[in-house]
Every structure is written in C-alpha cells, then in structure tokens.
Chains A and B, each alone.
Chain A
Amino acid sequence: MTQILITVTINGREETKHVEPRLLLSDFIRHDLGLTGTHVGCEHGVCGACTILFNGEAVRSCLMLAVQANGQTLETVESLGTPDNMHPLQQAFHEAHALQCGYCTPGFLMTLKPWLKENPNPNDHEIREALSGNLCRCTGYQHIVDAVKKTTDLRQQTTD
C-alpha cells in the first residue's frame, strides 16, 4: 500500500513519518509516536476517550485519518503536566477523586482544556453539557463536575 509522508507538530515537537492513508489519527499517535496517553475506547466516535486537540480544538482522534493531520498542530494529554508538576486540571481531578480506573480521563482533560478557556466561569449545567461527549463508567460524573468547579475556583483565587 502506498505510504504518504506527513509532518505534524505534536506537543510542541515536530514529527515526520510515513503512514498508510487508512491509519487513524488515534493509532498514529499511540503506535507510531508512542504517545499512549491518548486512549482508544469505541473507535466510532461515541466514548470520547481519544479526544485530542487539533489546531487547538477538541476532536475525536478515532474519527480522523493521520494523513489529515499533515502540517497541523496536535496536543495530547502528555502536553499537560507531569506526576511531579500536574496541570491545574489534573491536580483538581486528583483532589476531587474525579477518576477511578482512569481510562476515560485523558479524553475529559483534553475536552476541558480549550473549553475552560472559552468558558471560565461555567455552572453545573454548562459543565455537564460540555462533557456530554465523554463517557465515564466509574465515577457517575459528579466528582468530575466537582473537579471542574475546583479548577475554576482555584483560578479565580489566583487571579483575585
């Protein structure tokens, strides 16, 4: 099968690889680039686990082809923080017990990152609406909503 040479900027780093046209962006990120923080759940756009940022916007990486990312900018959960220096969202998820098995968490975090920029002071309803495209089978969502509120509270304290 013909391979196509693509270059992407991912988490601030440039990567060039040959890919088959049928390679999904989610598999490219995990298998070809070794960034396994992006999880793959349903592979047909329902669960949201594979959410990444494509030119700054949250998208499902299982519903895009790797070749479509040629020349574009991607961000995955690895761009957020490290265990010693967590991103405020990660810290809030940790403190509010917003995860149990953690499989869905990268998708939630990447959905929330751009959304909170556009919606700095959301109410419960808006938070649930924003997260409606991400499934979590462990938490029942309440702690995730709590974590988002914790993040916005923290941010308000630091800007006050």
Chain B
Amino acid sequence: MKPAPFEYRAPDTLQEALTLLAENGFDAKLLAGGQSLIPVMNFRLAQPGVIIDLNRVSGLDQIDVLSDGQVSIGAMVRQATLEKSDLIRTRLPLLHQTIPFIAHPQIRNRGTIGGSLAHADPAAELPVISVALQAQFKLQNQSGERLVGAESFYKALFETELGEDEILTEVIFPATPTRTGYAFHELARRHGDYAQAGAAAVITLDEAGRCQNARLIYLNVGDIPMSASQAADMLTGNQLNDSLIEAAARHAADHEIEPGGDVHASAAYKRHLAFVLGKRAIYQARTAAQQLS
C-alpha cells in the first residue's frame, strides 16, 4: 500500500501556504497531522496532486487565553499537547477529558485539533466537542479571514463550510460559564477504535439549581455532529430529576438523530446506545454542575 505520486510543498509561512492553496485549488490537500489523510492515501482512496504540508508553517501551534477568557488554540496544536496542558485541563475540562478517547497515544502525538475538525469525520470526537462548546473556527484565505460557528461549519458527510482556498487556522472556545458541568461518553468495540455512538452534555444550573442552559451533542449517529436542541429545551428551566433526564434522552434518541446501520451496529442498536450514553452524560454533567454550585 503506497500513496499515488504527488507533488510535495512545505511552506514556512501561512501566506505561502494560502498562495499554494489558491494556485492548486481542488487538486491540493493540506497535510496537518496526517493521521487520517495518510491512511486514505495509502489505500489510494485519496490521490491528491499536491500535498501542502503545514508542519513547517510557524505560528499555528499556540494556545492563548484571550482578554475575555476565551481560549484560542492554533490549528496545528497536537492532541497530545492538549492532553498534557494544564491550561486546557482547567479552562476547557470537556475538551481535556475527551482527548484520551481519540485513537492511541502515538496517533495523538501527531494528530492536530485543526486537522481533526476540518476532516469532519462524524465518528471523531473533536467536532462533537467543538459544537458542544460552541467554538468559533477562524478560516483564512488570501483576501482575509472569517469566523464560523462550529455548528454551522458542519454541512454534510465530510462536507464543511471550508472553501477550496481556505485554511482553518485557529479555534476559539468561549470562556467556561459558572455552575456548568460537562460529560462525554462513547462506546467503541475496542478502546481507541472509532466509537459506534457517543454523547457530550453541557449543563449550566441557575442559583436555584434549575437547568439554565443545556447542550446535548451526539457522535456517529448522523452525517455530522448531531445537536439535540429539543431535548435540551426539555431540560432548560427545570429541576433535572431522573424522569426528566430519561425523557429528554429518550426524545433525543428517538427524534433528533439519524443513525445509519453498519456491519458492527444496526441503526436500532445505535439509537439504543444514544439513549443510554446521552442519559449517562446528562446525569454526570448535572452532578458535576451541582458540585460546583
């Protein structure tokens, strides 16, 4: 298994990379960590004419706290760096606790946040987390930059808002609100494999202990990260007791996801998993929020 021939370019600056991308358009592919791109090239499922390697581009691997408490993460920050970062652990606990679910240590040493987000695999963890946390993606081309919310970035299976001449350069996560708990659960046949289904929950409580805000995002039960906004609405404004959590998780699994069956899991089984994992995630996020209140 060897990749088909291609031309290799390794620019030192973002400007150079953007120029190369504009010149080569659809025939070019950006190489970040390569942990998804190289396998599909080895299988010859992808045969790009030009590889633009971003690994030598300076300035894309910073983690910064912005003045208003937002956290900015450069697209080329490795998953292993996020895993070991105290800043990420304290400021973005959901992101931090989800990293160990991504493949294996060797993969995380190379895999990048930007690569994973732009690749848009519905079974990948980082797109789900970015939607759950309402991250903003900075997309740049030769004429400028724009910010796109994670939820509107994902269009369809492996299809995103990213234009042919654009590079995802930075991800900006909002500051963590107070009295907010997080949880992520997934089920995979073996640890590190792509999960059959997963769920992330973000629960903010008000001073009286009622749910002030809820977000519930599902992994690998649709073509993109699936947001269960009706189930979240069922929770909002209410005390999160067992029967309400169960009803919301049931609604999400029955009405707000679109699982396709595959050789390892039928669509019905994935719905069942989404119910169980969603319920578990809401419980855990609620309990974590209560402990912070």
Contact = CB atoms under 8 A, between A and B. Distances in A.
A139 to B, nearest CB: 17
Nearest to B2: A22
B42 A67 contact: no
Contacts of A48: 104, 106
B192 interface: yes
Given A22-B2, A22-B4, A132-B191, A60 B42 contact: no
Interface stretch (B33-41, B139-147, B172-180, B263-271): B33-41
B158 interface: no
Give 9 nearest A-B pairs by CB, closest first. Answer: A133-B104, A21-B8, A44-B39, A22-B3, A63-B38, A43-B1, A57-B109, A58-B106, A133-B106
Contact of B5 (A20, A27, A59, A134): A20
Interface string B105-123: 1110110000000000000
Interface in B260-286: none
B6 interface: yes
Contacts, number: 90
Contacts of A20: 5
Interface residues of A, number: 32
B110 A59 contact: yes
17 contacts: A24-B3, A44-B39, A44-B43, A48-B106, A57-B109, A58-B106, A58-B109, A63-B39, A64-B34, A65-B8, A65-B31, A67-B53, A68-B10, A132-B104, A133-B103, A133-B107, A134-B104
Contact of B110 (A23, A64, A132): A64
A69 B5 CA distance: 18
Interface of B: 1-8, 10, 31, 34-35, 38-39, 41-43, 51, 53, 55, 80, 100, 103-107, 109-110, 191-192
Chain B interface SS verdict (over half) = mixed
Nearest to B110: A59
Contacts of B1: 43-44
Contact of A68 (B6, B35, B39, B55): B55
A51 interface: yes
Given A44-B43, A132-B104, 12 more contacts: A1-B5, A20-B5, A22-B2, A24-B3, A24-B42, A45-B39, A51-B106, A57-B109, A59-B110, A62-B38, A68-B55, A129-B191
